[in-house]
Amino acid sequence: MRNDERFEIQRAFDLLPHVVGASWTVVWFRMQGIRKPTREEFREKTLEYLKMIEPIFESYPKEEDFEAICKYIEFRKKQEYEKIISGENKEIETRYDRYVDYG
């Protein structure tokens, strides 16, 4: 699969973890009155919210024409989940820092 064929999916996975996962997480902690969650709690909640949109990741048909992009989506999804839990997603870490510093 050529890079240009997966460009839009790459951009989506660059944005979805923090736009969906971390944004919903911040609101959740704020509404719960939890000002200083641990990093691990923040990461786990972020992943929980990101996983809620998994049906989108599985929305392409299970046909030969879509096989390569479906495999790439699965690979990238697992990669992003691991980066969130391990603290390697810098945008999630920045969102955490901002939340605990400014609430």
pLDDT tops 70 at residue 80: yes
Question: Angle at which helices 23-32 and 39-51 pack, to 10 degrees?
Answer: 120
For the chain, what is the domain count? 1
pLDDT of residue 5: 85
This prediction's pTM: 0.92
Inter-CA distances, 63 with 11, 70, 78, Å: 23, 9, 21
pLDDT tops 70 at residue 22: yes
Residue-range definition of the domain harbouring residue 40: 3-102
Kindly report, residue by residue over 34-65, the tens digit of the pLDDT: 999 999 999 999 999 999 999 999 999 999 99
Banded model confidence at residue 1, pLDDT cuts 50, 70, 90: low
Banded model confidence at residue 4, pLDDT cuts 50, 70, 90: confident
